Structure 1
């Protein structure tokens, strides 16, 4: 995705807020908002934002898992299976 096509000055956002929101929802591409020629903010639709947050949460879990592995904080799968089988089924 090329962000260069989605760069707009803050004056454009002020004058076309409803259109910008519709465009964000339809295209699902973020928009960079500039002020005095400098990038100041990124706008994106809610669905894309939620997907990004879910992805980041999964990546964080993976990173934490990798850290545990590096630190030797692991349990052999056979031990886990044995523990699960030993628990009462609750029937």
Structure 2
């Protein structure tokens, strides 16, 4: 017989699969991978490009390249936030109540 906790566990499982199917599938096979909010490969690449643009702008004394590098660095910094998606949807991250 299903108990009251089973329904809640099924809800949690469905939400996890909906939010990050790759993580849920790996967890089901017993080989968990990092959740989506902790995978930053593209963010590091963007930060590297931003710093290259910023350095080039400084070396050439070109204001537009400096501004573009700073903007890209800001975007990359924002992408490192693990709760970025909740803020966009208007849901408070854990611990901000």
| TM-score under structure 1 length normalisation | 0.31
Larger radius of gyration: 1
More helix by share: 2
More strand by share: 1
| TM-score under structure 2 length normalisation | 0.29
